[in-house]
């Protein structure tokens, strides 16, 4: 598969146990991780507004643009031996605005720009579907941890939204919060303070904070 004439990495395929008609999250992994064994640690990024510029219900690879500092952050974390992944709510699937193939195309374009990521954990449900995987529930984080063979205590989640931060904390992972691209809305989640999670000015500073803690 190619995008605009450029080579694109193979899109991570859903595990057999994570079919799209199942109620759980979609889990995409690269086959190479299992043979390489569990990494020493991992970092999971929120997708929209943290890893990629936020575009509502984006299914267009041409609109995939990394956030400032992301490339440097990923390079530093890879060099230090961390596994990398993404957790993402994608309610546009439930609303019929984007399809599964578009979700995968966006992921493939992100990897073409940023390099391969070890796991993508995606909730395709809407807020009223009654699923167990939509953040702020911890399911996406715990599913990504299992795919990487790591306990949550050895995983750090970098995110900008209340939902991602709350999911990480509920899973028992470490958290570094970065600023939201737009003013945050009041979702009823408790405010993030230095007693509950660390903060950084962006992905690059978050990676530096993690590597030099």
The length of the chain, given as a count of residues: 213
Instruction: Judge: domain 2-211, CATH 3.40.50.1000.
Output: yes
Going residue by residue through the chain, which has 213 residues, state the pLDDT in tens, using 9 for 90 and above: 222 223 333 344 443 333 345 467 999 997 655 445 678 899 999 999 999 999 989 999 999 999 999 999 999 999 999 999 999 999 999 999 999 999 999 999 999 999 999 999 999 999 999 999 999 999 999 999 999 999 999 999 999 999 999 999 999 999 999 998 865 444 444 444 434 578 888 888 888 878 876
pLDDT at 205: 84
Whole-structure pTM value: 0.80
Domain ranges of the chain: 2-211
């Amino acid at each position: 598969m190619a995008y605009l004439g450029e080579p694109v990495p193979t899109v991570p395929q859903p595990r057999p146990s994570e079919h799209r008609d199942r109620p759980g999250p979609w889990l995409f992994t690269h086959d190479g991780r299992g043979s390489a064994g569990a990494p020493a640690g991992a970092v999971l990024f929120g997708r929209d507004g943290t890893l990629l510029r936020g575009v509502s219900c984006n299914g267009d690879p041409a609109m995939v643009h990394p956030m400032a500092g992301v490339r440097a952050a990923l390079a530093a974390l890879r060099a230090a031996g961390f596994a990398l992944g993404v957790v993402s709510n994608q309610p546009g699937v439930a609303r019929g605005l984007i399809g599964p193939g578009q979700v995968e195309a966006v992921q493939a374009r992100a990897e073409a720009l940023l390099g391969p990521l070890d796991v993508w954990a995606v909730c395709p449900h809407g807020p009223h579907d009654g699923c167990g995987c939509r953040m702020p529930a911890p399911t996406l984080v715990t599913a990504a941890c299992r795919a990487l063979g790591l306990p949550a205590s050895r995983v750090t989640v970098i995110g900008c939204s209340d939902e991602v931060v709350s999911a990480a904390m509920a899973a028992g992972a470490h958290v570094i919060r970065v600023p939201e691209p737009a003013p945050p809305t009041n979702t009823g989640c408790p405010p993030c303070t230095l007693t509950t999670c660390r903060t950084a000015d962006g992905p690059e500073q978050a990676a530096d904070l993690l590597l030099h803690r």
